[in-house]
Amino acid sequence: MSSAPLTIVCWKWSSPGYRSEFGPEAVNVLRRMVSRHYVRPHRFCCVTNEPKGIDPQVEIIPDREDFKDIPSPHGGRNPSCYRRLRLFAPDAGEIFGPRFVSLDLDCVIVRDMIPVWDRPEPFVIWGDTNPKTLYNGSMMLLKAGARTVVWNNFNPKHSPRLAQSSGNFGSDQAWISFCLGRGEKKWSRIDGVYSYRNEIMRRGSMLPPDARIVMFHGLTDPWSPEAQRLSWVRQHWI
């Protein structure tokens, strides 16, 4: 494994009409959560062209806006995240460093992340959140240059519909699932990685004692009134 510090990458862009609004405070809170729960030396970066309000401790990486105009094949209320495919580009190491984690803003980190992120595999991704889709793009760990087929084989005109027609749901995650197929290393609740929608909300919204990070993919965000009524969210999303 490289001795260089791990890079934690988040993404922020505007999507008018989308169901959620991601302000600069979401970036700032995520940086603080990472700082508390990943104590090894690391870079914390935000890929964005909207740096206003983001703390100066956050390293800003200009967003190249790859494929930004490709809509989600599932309609406007679903996110279009194809720009994150840049993580799989052959030159990703020049941008993000030799090893990096891409992490969604709508998560709550509650415990030590060293066991989650300090892994030797060239590629690890969250999974098992949709019965029709192998992988979820909310969290991905890559060694720079891993799985370049995801970038190299993406065709803006044909790939989104190809992934959808195969039964996969989402934008970038659908293409990743279609392109890579089964067999990639995945995080799950065994690793302390939980889905709020699938595994916590349906069980009384209590935080599992072995949780390390909770993903709020879907309609509820950590900063929403529904989530903020939960004491464990208020305790950790700060």
**Average pLDDT of the chain?**
94
The structural domains of the chain, with segments of one domain joined by +, span 6-191
Binned at pLDDT 50, 70 and 90, residue 75 comes out as confident
pLDDT given for residue 81 in this prediction: 95
pLDDT digits (tens, 9 = 90+) for 162-185: 999 999 999 999 999 999 999 999
The CATH architecture that domain 6-191 belongs to is: Alpha-Beta Complex (3.90)
Nearest C-alpha neighbor of 103 from the set 230, 3, 6, 223: 6
Exposure string of 156-170, with b = 16+ CB inside 10 Å and e = fewer, is eeebbebbbeeebbb
Q: Which pTM does this prediction carry? A: 0.94
Query: Does residue 89 register a pLDDT over 90?
Result: yes
Whole-angstrom CA distances from 54 to 18, 61, 72, 98 are: 21, 12, 27, 25
pLDDT digits (tens, 9 = 90+) for 183-194: 999 999 999 999
